[in-house]
Every structure is written in C-alpha cells, then in structure tokens.
Amino acid sequence: MFFRTTAVMAFVLFMIGGSLAQQAAIKIEAMSPGRLHHLGLTGSTTTGLSVVPKGGVVYMSDRDLAGGTINSCVWQMTSKPGGSLADLDSTLTHWTTFRPDMTGQYAIKLTITTATGTDDTTITITAANFTGVGSVGNVPPNIAQGQCAGCHSGSIPSLADKVTPWKTSGHAAMFQRGVDGIVSSHYSSSCMSCHTTGLDTDPLAVNNGFDDQMTSSGWLFPSTLQPGNFDTLVANHPQLAQVGTIGCEMCHGPGNQHFGNAAKTAVSIDIGACAACHDEPWRHNKVSEYENSKHAELIWSSSFRQQPSSSDFMTNSLNNCIRCHDGQAFINYTNEVGTDTRSITSVQNLTCAACHEPHGTPNAYQLRKISVDTLANGLAIPSTVGSGGVCMNCHKSRRDGETYPITTSISSHFGPHHSPQTDMYLGKNAHSFGQSIPSSIAHSLVQDACVGCHMSATVDTGSVARDKIGGHSWGMTYREPGVEIDNVSGCVGCHTGITHFRDIIAAFDYDNDGTIEPFINETHGLRALLAEALPPFGVDSVDWRMIQASPDSVRLKKAYYNYEFFEGDASEGIHNPKYAIGVLQRSVSILTGVEFREANGVPEVFALHQNYPNPFNPTTTISFAIPRQATVRLEVYDLVGRLVKVLANEELPQGNYSAVWDGTNVAGTGVSSGIYLYRIQAGTFVSVKKMVLLR
C-alpha cells in the first residue's frame, strides 16, 4: 500500500537536509483501492497529484523534511475560486481533507511546530473537469475543450508527440478490447473504473468523467461482449468515447484548466498514479509486489550527487551514481539525456515509471530503453538478453575486473559495484589471472534473462510469501523462522521436481570436501576456502587492511576482488554456475597452490543428471557419471511403466557420459507430448528422473 515508499522518501529528504531546522512540507496522499481498504476508508481512488477532479476528495498530510517530530500543526485554505464553499475538514490534525466544489485553484497553507521551532509552506491544488484524450476511435480532438491530442500529437513542433506512442500502448485500447470481448469473456462493468478516464463511485464528484458522461448519454454496458461494440459507442456517443480509454488525464489529472499552462497539469513519476489501478489485491497486486522489493528502498547518499561541472553529468557514464539511484535520472539516462539539475538537490524513488514508459513504446510491457551500454571492460551486452536489458543498465560491476585490482588502492569500498549480476550472468569481468574461465550455457538461454527467473509468477495465493517473491518483487527467496520458500517457478522447467534451490544437487565435488552436495553448498564451500586464503588467513572473513599492509597486496587484491564479485552477485553462483565455480577455484588455487579436479575428469560417485533442455523438442541430452567400470543400462519409460527406448546397454569404463534421446520409440516412431521417465542401472546403482517432451 506504498507506505514504505513515503517513509523512505522522508528519510532520504532528511539525509539531504542533514540536521537543518524544521522544513514544512505538504504531502498530497494517493489513495489506491488497497490503501483505502487498509485504512478502513470508503470512496474513490486518488493519484496524489496536484491536479485533482472537481468534487473528489483530496487527502493531505504534514511533513518535516528535516526529519523532526511534528508536535503540532495548523492547516488553512488561504484562497479558493470565487463562489466556492469548500473548506478543510480539519485544521489541527496531521491529516486533513477537502472536496473542491468548483474548478480552479485552491491554496493550502500548513504551519508545523517541532522541538526546534516553527515553519510554514503553501501549495496550490488545481481542480478541473475531464476532457478526454481527443484521439479515441478516430474522433478528432476538440480544441475548445482542451483535449490532449490537440497539442500533444505532433501538431506543435515544440511539444513532443505523446499521443502517437500512447496509441500503441496496452492502456489505449484496454476498454475497447474489453467491451469487444477480446480481453476476457468475464469482462464486466466493474472493470471500467480502471479502464476508462475519470470514472468514480462518488455521487458528489461530478466532473465530466466516464460515469458522468455515461449517465448523460444513456449508454449502457453491452449485454453481449462482441467485436463492434466499441465502434458503436464511438458512432453514437463520440464524446463518451474520448474518455473510454486509459487516457492522459488518468496520470496527469483532469485537463480542462490546462490549455498550455504547465502549472495546471501534473507531471510526476510517483507511484500513486499507477497504484490507483495496480494496487487492488488480490488480483491487481503489482504495487504490493513492488513494495516488497529492494527497488522500493531507495539507496541514497549525498555523495551520489553530480555537479554540472562533472564530466559524467551529461554523459551518464558508469561513474554517474544518480542515473541508477534516482528515478527521474534513470529516465533521463534511458532517453539519452544528461542528468538534470533537479537530480542534484532532490531524489525520486525508482517507481513504475522508471522502468515503464507510460506513453507507450514498441516493445512489450512498455519498457524503457532495453538496449544497454557496455560493461566496464568494454564488452557490449548482447541484445539476446531481451527485457532483462532494462535490469542490466544498473546491475553491473562498473569496474574493469582485469585492471581495477592492479591500479586501485584498496579501501573499505574496494571491489566491484555492489550488484555485478550482469557481469556474472555473462561470465565476464571477474579477474581471470590470465586464464580463460568458461561459462554455463543453460542459464544464458533463459528468455529475457533476469526477468525470466526473478519475475516468474508464483501460484500460491495463500502463501505467506504472497507478493514477496516473483513478479515485481523480483525476490527469489522468502525466509522467516521456520519458513523457507524459494521461487523455483522459473527453474522447474529444467530442474524437474525441485521445491527449493537446495534440491539442485551439484554434478561434481567442486569444493574438494569429499561430498557432492547441493550446488549452493558447493559454492559456499569454495567461498569459505577463498576467505580462509585471504588475510587474516584460516578464518571465514577478510580484513582489507591486512591486504593493504601485505607485501603481496596486488595478488591478494586480485583474489579479494573476485571474493567481493561473488558476494556482490548474491546469487550463490546460480546466475552462472560454471563461471562462479571457475572464478572461485582459480582464486583459491592462485593463493594456496591447491589444484581442483576438472569436473569432466574421473567422477567419484555414480550420478544421473537432469536432462537438458527440459522440457524439450525435438531432442534432449541425458548425462551420467560412472566412477568405476560397470554394465550400464539407460532406458526411457512412459508414465504407465512401458519401455519406450533403450539409450545405452553396455559395459563402460569410469567416466562422464551423455546420451541423446530424439523423442522416438524402439520402432523409430516419434512419441507424443508428455512426461517420461528415464532410468539408469549401473551395477547396484539405480536412479530415475522425469523429463517433459513438448511437441
């Protein structure tokens, strides 16, 4: 319900203000369906903008930007349109509301008193009626009404064309697709409040929104959902059609007072505009997911500020912190413009609009710039990462792993930037010690890279981890005492049958402890070996000061960089198993002289590995390990136990092997889609696993 965002912003502003005297501020509160429910309130949603619908309720709360506790406050409405009877419902409480009864501007003054003194501030709120976007159903805009398309569709050279890209967005045609029966056979009038402009349930809010025009026009929701319903609406009720869409005024406020006056329209990337529709649990839970994400916890330091004199100010280079720690600055970066001066002194959270272009883009989900710049070593990130490219704009090391440990003095901040996930995923930019370190192939084939796993949906709506893993939470694990839930929904296609990441058993004893364990245990073992090989030596911790003082500091810095690289990636090696293992093993070997057995060498135990790919079509590979000579029989069965095919039946010496199944039976005929079992028997060793064939 976006409470934490507000609290985080207050903290950030406090950090900016330092220990300054009190600084009064008024927060226009957004009210989503989820937040109204949480607060026990009834009424229509609000977006938290300074431009509001006439007749709707405006919620406001007090703030002290210096971070002090407000002991008392006084609210005043210092001006309002002539003839207005509007007034504040309370003048001495931390929250107050009012209902603008006329179009025009209302000035609200707040005076706060804290332990250090008194301060006041005044804001202006514009109340307006809705006009419609002016380009729905090919109905031309009505300039006299101030419809958006009259100015923002490219007709005025000084204004960017926002209407044309908006028409390509899912927002533009959502209502049309709904009444035409394309969205769902269950689409109903209850869906219209989020799919049209200005529809509310408040009888006192008469402001030319969809509900008001629907009443005056006599239009009724169609009894049968079928193509042509919207065209009929356009033909018979063109003015209603102009608000029969998720239009500009849903995000910028009603527009009949605007007419080119920037002060009478709202531009904000705050989450409130999106939350009005995307925060209605349980179905519409994107905001709830986001609030549980680390993106909602803005990470900020005054040291991030960039001055116009900085060479990074306009270039948005990897040294520009603001581009990833401020929502508007990230938008500027994706639009290939420099950091704006606003970002020097204030910060905005990484909300929905930071990643999604509200006006529409040619790609899926209205994502902002997907093409990304290079890693710090100059490697161009491939376009095959798809939607995950948005994440990769920020989640990278910002260091050249080969040169940085050599040229940079060690300190408490030494190492790659805290989130080098892109570098790990691509298998690049750790320090290699002059050796080529191979990468895993499987995870690089995940569709949309980061998105494919971190945003994979969870299906358990009753789980305590609901909204805390998957989706826009981007979370992969949920932990509390006695509860351990992993988001494996993006993994089970290949790792059939797992419920936790620890169910994925390593193919080899990578950390040389004599036991083949869950993969993440193997990487933990290697990480511990590397820590023990670094000062103070022999313990699972590292002291950078001792590295600094060592006569062998350069070599130690290289290994320490890799230690921080693995730690910062925070995936326990899962992002790129082979590369993570290689980086850790190489670093330990350099420091200790210990050599690790190759994973493709002599196996220590019998093993049957999960086939890959899985699901598959037309072929899949099944790998297995034989530690000593044995008669090996590898067979495929269907679910009722009938033998489908024998893939191996022979005496084999010790080694690692693989067999390919092409989806045919003993007669060479292709079998149907479904779940199949593959079984190995090697001496007394027997193992069975599942695989899925999709035709």
Domain that includes residue 409, residue range: 393-599
Query: Considering only 119-128, 331-340, 418-427, 682-691, which range has the smallest mean pLDDT?
Result: 331-340
Mean per-residue pLDDT for 85-93? 97
Rounded to the nearest 10°, the torsion over CA 261, 264, 265, 266 is 130
**Residue 84 shares a structural domain with residue 229:** no
**Residue 665 shares a structural domain with residue 527:** no
| Residue type present at position 545 | R
Q: Which residue reads 């960039």 in tokens?
A: 306
- State how far the Cα of 583 lies from the Cα of 581, in Å rounded to an integer: 6
Query: Considering only 210-224, 227-241, 299-313, which range has the smallest mean pLDDT?
Result: 299-313
Residue 541 — left, alpha, or beta (φ > 0 → left; ψ -120 to 50 → alpha)?
A: beta
Query: Considering only 63-67, 194-198, 565-569, which range has the smallest mean pLDDT?
Result: 63-67
Which residues are CB-neighbours of 532 under 8 A, at least 6 positions away? 538, 539, 540
Confidence of residue 155 (pLDDT cuts 50, 70, 90): confident
Residue finishing a domain among 565, 599, 633 = 599
Q: What is the pLDDT of residues 314-328, one digit of tens each?
A: 777 888 888 899 999
Q: Say what the pLDDT of residue 287 is.
A: 94
**Residue 99 shares a structural domain with residue 145:** no
Q: Say what the pLDDT of residue 20 is.
A: 63
**Residue 433 shares a structural domain with residue 468:** yes
Q: Say what the pLDDT of residue 341 is.
A: 67
Mean per-residue pLDDT for 613-639? 91
- State how far the Cα of 163 lies from the Cα of 177, in Å rounded to an integer: 19
Q: Say what the pLDDT of residue 319 is.
A: 84
Residue 63 is part of a domain; what is its CATH number? 2.60.40.10
**Residue 117 shares a structural domain with residue 222:** no
Report if residue 591 sits inside a domain. Answer: yes
Helix (H, G, I), strand (E, B) or coil at 473: helix
* 671, two tokens: 């079998």
| Residue type present at position 490 | G
Length of the chain: 695
Report if residue 278 sits inside a domain. Answer: no
Query: Considering only 359-363, 461-465, 584-588, which range has the smallest mean pLDDT?
Result: 461-465
Report if residue 341 sits inside a domain. Answer: no
Mean per-residue pLDDT for 357-373? 85
**Residue 159 shares a structural domain with residue 237:** yes
Report if residue 247 sits inside a domain. Answer: yes
Residue 19 has pLDDT above 70, yes or no: no
Report if residue 285 sits inside a domain. Answer: no
**Residue 166 shares a structural domain with residue 123:** no
Q: Say what the pLDDT of residue 7 is.
A: 42
Residue 649 has pLDDT above 90, yes or no: yes
Contact present, 630 and 652 (Cβ < 8 Å) = yes
Mean per-residue pLDDT for 394-421? 95
Report if residue 319 sits inside a domain. Answer: no
Confidence of residue 55 (pLDDT cuts 50, 70, 90): very high
**Residue 56 shares a structural domain with residue 107:** yes
Q: Say what the pLDDT of residue 292 is.
A: 93
Q: What is the pLDDT of residues 544-556, one digit of tens each?
A: 999 999 999 999 9
Residue 645 is part of a domain; what is its CATH number? 2.60.40.4070
Confidence of residue 5 (pLDDT cuts 50, 70, 90): very low
**Residue 632 shares a structural domain with residue 593:** no
Query: What is the enclosing helix (H) or strand (E) of 691?
Result: strand 685-693
Report if residue 324 sits inside a domain. Answer: no
Q: Say what the pLDDT of residue 17 is.
A: 43
**Residue 499 shares a structural domain with residue 533:** yes
Percent over 70 (pLDDT), the chain: 95
**Residue 161 shares a structural domain with residue 190:** yes
Residue 680 has pLDDT above 70, yes or no: yes
Q: Say what the pLDDT of residue 514 is.
A: 83
Q: What is the pLDDT of residues 425-456, one digit of tens each?
A: 999 999 999 989 999 888 888 999 999 999 99
Residue finishing a domain among 599, 627, 661 = 599
Q: What is the pLDDT of residues 245-285, one digit of tens each?
A: 999 999 999 999 999 999 999 999 999 999 999 998 878 89
Contact present, 49 and 69 (Cβ < 8 Å) = no
Residue finishing a domain among 207, 228, 253 = 253
Q: How many CB atoms lie within 10 A of CB 18?
A: 9
- State how far the Cα of 688 lies from the Cα of 610, in Å rounded to an integer: 10
Confidence of residue 1 (pLDDT cuts 50, 70, 90): low
Q: Say what the pLDDT of residue 300 is.
A: 83
**Residue 147 shares a structural domain with residue 87:** no
Number of domains in the chain: 4
Q: Say what the pLDDT of residue 10 is.
A: 44
Report if residue 47 sits inside a domain. Answer: yes
Q: Say what the pLDDT of residue 157 is.
A: 86
Mean pLDDT of all residues belonging to the chain: 90
Supply the DSSP symbol for 524: H
Q: How far from the centroid of its chain's Cα atoms is residue 468's Cα? A: 12
Confidence of residue 301 (pLDDT cuts 50, 70, 90): confident
Residue 297, class by beta-carbon neighbours within 10 Å (0-12 exposed, 13-18 middle, 19+ buried)? middle
Residue 18 has pLDDT above 50, yes or no: no
Residue (of 381, 415, 421, 419) closest to 401 by Cα position: 415
Confidence of residue 135 (pLDDT cuts 50, 70, 90): confident
Q: How far from the centroid of its chain's Cα atoms is residue 315's Cα? A: 25
Mean per-residue pLDDT for 638-645? 95
Q: Say what the pLDDT of residue 391 is.
A: 95
Residue 461 has pLDDT above 80, yes or no: no
Mean per-residue pLDDT for 574-599? 90
Residue 104 has pLDDT above 60, yes or no: yes
Mean per-residue pLDDT for 78-107? 98
Confidence of residue 8 (pLDDT cuts 50, 70, 90): very low
Q: Which residue reads 């191979």 in tokens?
A: 438
Confidence of residue 462 (pLDDT cuts 50, 70, 90): confident
* 33, two tokens: 């369906």
Residue 529 has pLDDT above 60, yes or no: yes
Q: Between these two residues, 228 and 593, which has the higher pLDDT value?
A: 228
